[in-house]
Amino acid sequence: MGKPTGFLEYDRITSEAEAPLERIKNFNEFHTPLSEEQQKKQGARCMECGVPFCQSGMVLNGMVSGCPLNNLVPEWNDLVYIGNWSQAFNRLKKTNSFPEFTSRVCPAPCEAACTCGLYGDPVSIKENERAIIEKAYETGKAGPRPPKLRTDKKIAIIGSGPSGLAAADQLNKRGHNVTVFEREDRVGGLLMYGIPNMKLEKHVIDRKIEVMKAEGVTFVTGADVGNTVKANKLKKEFDSIILACGASNPRDIQAPGRDAEGIYFAVDFLKSTTKSLLNSNLEDDSYISAKDKHVIVIGGGDTGNDCVGTSIRHGCASVTQLEMMPKLPDKRAENNSWPEWPRICKTDYGQEEACAVFGHDPRIYQTTIKEFVKDETGKLCKAILISLQPQKDEATGRTIMVAVEGSEQEVPADLVLIAAGFLGAQSYVADAFDVELNARSNVATEAGSYATNKEKIFVTGDMHRGQSLVVWAIREGREAAKEADRYLMRYTNLA
């Protein structure tokens, strides 16, 4: 432990965000990294606890506490403090395949479980993680490291999101010959087209992909396995196949008028913006535009917030975000004690920007759409909202949200974005490989396993566990790689 009194001497500091009214002028990342001296002080704040909850990855009360990757957080915090950036990178990469991604988009369950946060402010772990990986790129430490020996095994990975990339990275390091198939025109899955550029600039993904290519991984884009690429062909050519296609079925909202023009799934809206941004800096007008429109976002999670921030950058006339559930408390409730994930109300970047532009929080709680109203041409022009209230279901004992009679209100709406989550794997991929699905429409496996009901076919990520965090996807990819390696070699030495 480099500084036993560091947590007493130094306050928590995080990277400064550009002012909302300035950052909405573009789609760039908007945080200014800390200086190296500031970063060392943040590393000094780590108490190197006897029981480091930050790296535990436990599930408490149905929520993860600590890092699902079991990152060696106290070790690299101390190494940052003493300035040993090279060894800090070695310890970070031991457990995390892509710290350049997680340090930008992870909600940081590690920080929520930090002991410093019990009575004060947690260590700025994400800041340290990002500093380590960026320093490694600057110094060449994060450059290509091809395996010294190759096996004769060929592995196909279907999907290039974080889980597929993690599996590819691990299996390539083992010396296997790995080919990643991606149906889109760019590699990255939801990292590329599901997460907006202001949260994760795409050159960060491209930088890592170039390293993986130099290490020997082959990427094939525009390959829609199950459609344009036949599953039987891959089964003949490869010794093992890992399905990493994500949970790609967006949950719909069924209400009268759903067929109105101007209603889209959030993933299609975000994808169209990013693709147009990368192709033409939005000059090709090929994206779903929110400019001068009254926007309603259905869903209060991260994707809904991304839709709010993107709509504001388009220049929307107004934006409203609907959340079915009640507003969470501003502070931990008594039944939500540390180190559980704090179930508290948080204002994210999109909501901050809406407050700055329109003067109020865009969120309306305990509310949903009752009806979409079309004009005479079939275009969306209004929405009828209805309030909800919690009620106990007598049959199941669960709390459900029910409509409040007489609470309807009509609001203008030109564009509705449905950000209500996802409902499992797309059936055409599962059908192509003839793998079984479970009751949640995810690919079925035995508990703790990634092997499907079909010989040599494995599954990982959201396609296996359902919609989840990037950090969970990376863990699943690494675990699936170990199981596939064991299948191929009869043992594994992958971490």
User: What HEC string does 315-351 produce?
Assistant: CCCEEEEEECCCCCCCCCCCCCCCCCCCCCCCCCHHH
Residues 166 and 309 in one domain: no
Question: Residue type for 426, please?
Answer: Q
- Omega into 339 within 30° of 0, i.e. cis? yes
Residues 407 and 338 in one domain: yes
Residue in 356, 357, 315, 351 with CA at minimum distance from that of residue 27:
315
Residue-level pLDDT at 248: 86
Domain-located, residue 208: yes
Give the up-direction half-sphere exposure of residue 339: CA atoms within 13 A in the CB hemisphere: 24
Sign of the four-CA dihedral 143, 144, 149, 154: positive
pLDDT in tens, 110-141: 999 999 998 899 999 999 999 999 999 999 99
Q: Are 122 and 111 in contact (CB under 8 A)?
A: yes
Residues 319 and 359 in one domain: yes
Q: Are 398 and 365 in contact (CB under 8 A)?
A: no
Residues 328 and 429 in one domain: no
Domain-located, residue 308: yes
As for how many domains the chain has, the answer is 3
Domain-located, residue 48: yes
Residue-level pLDDT at 127: 95
Does the pLDDT at position 410 exceed 70? yes
Does the pLDDT at position 62 exceed 90? no
Domain-located, residue 254: no
Residue in 325, 278, 275, 273 with CA at minimum distance from that of residue 298:
325
Does the pLDDT at position 384 exceed 90? yes
- C-alpha 309 chain-centroid distance: 16
Domain-located, residue 238: yes
Residue 361 to residues 105, 193, 266, 354, 355: CA-CA distances in angstroms? 22, 26, 20, 6, 5
Q: Cα–Cα distance between 83 and 71 in angstroms, integer?
A: 19
Domain-located, residue 16: yes
Residues 81 and 97 in one domain: yes
pLDDT in tens, 252-308: 999 999 999 999 999 999 999 999 999 999 999 999 999 999 999 999 999 999 999
Q: Cα–Cα distance between 440 and 432 in angstroms, integer?
A: 19
* Six token digits for residue 79: 């190494």
CATH number, position 135: 1.10.1060.10
The boundaries of the domain holding residue 313 are: 263-418
Residues 210 and 238 in one domain: yes
Residues 304 and 387 in one domain: yes
Q: Are 127 and 34 in contact (CB under 8 A)?
A: yes
Among residues 396, 418, 440, the one where a domain terminates is: 418
Give percent of the chain above pLDDT 90.
93
Residues 379 and 294 in one domain: yes
Give percent of the chain above pLDDT 70.
100
Select the highest-mean-pLDDT range: 371-385, 392-406, 421-435: 371-385
Q: What is the mean pLDDT of residues 221-229?
A: 96
Among residues 359, 394, 418, the one where a domain terminates is: 418
Q: Could you write out the three-class secondary structure of the chain?
A: CCCCCHHHHCCCCCCEECCHHHHCCCCCCCEECCCHHHHHHHHHCCCCCCCCHHHCCEEECCEEECCCCCCCHHHHHHHHHHCCHHHHHHHHHCCCCCHHHHHHHCCCHHHHCCHHHCCCCCCCHHHHHHHHHHHHHHHCCCCCCCCCCCCCCEEEEECCCHHHHHHHHHHHHCCCEEEEEECCCCCCCHHHHCCCCCCCCHHHHHHHHHHHHHCCCEEEECCCECCCECHHHHHHHCCEEEECCCCCCECCCCCCCCCCECEEEHHHHHHHHHHHHHHHCCCCCCCCCCCCCEEEEECCCHHHHHHHHHHHHHCCCEEEEEECCCCCCCCCCCCCCCCCCCCCCCCCHHHHHHHHHHCCCCEEECEEEEEEEECCCCEEEEEEEEEEEEEECCCCCCEEEEECCCCCEEEECCEEEECCCECCCCHHHHHHHCCCECCCCCECCCCCCCECCCCCEEECCHHHHCCCCHHHHHHHHHHHHHHHHHHHHCCCCCC
Domain-located, residue 256: no
1-5, 62-66, 102-106, 428-432 — which is least confidently predicted? 1-5
Query: Cβ of 421: how many Cβ atoms within 10 Å?
Result: 16
CATH number, position 182: 3.50.50.60
Residues 268 and 367 in one domain: yes
Residues 178 and 291 in one domain: no
Domain-located, residue 148: no
* Whether pTM exceeds 0.85: yes
Does the pLDDT at position 395 exceed 90? no
Sign of the four-CA dihedral 489, 493, 494, 495: positive
Residue-level pLDDT at 1: 63
Residues 63 and 119 in one domain: yes
Q: Read off the pLDDT band of 2 (50, 70, 90).
A: low
Q: How far apart are the first and last CA of the chain?
A: 26
Residues 322 and 379 in one domain: yes
∠ Cα 364 368 373 (to 5°): 115
Helix-helix angle 470-489:162-173, to 10 degrees: 40
> Which residue matches tokens 């030109």?
414
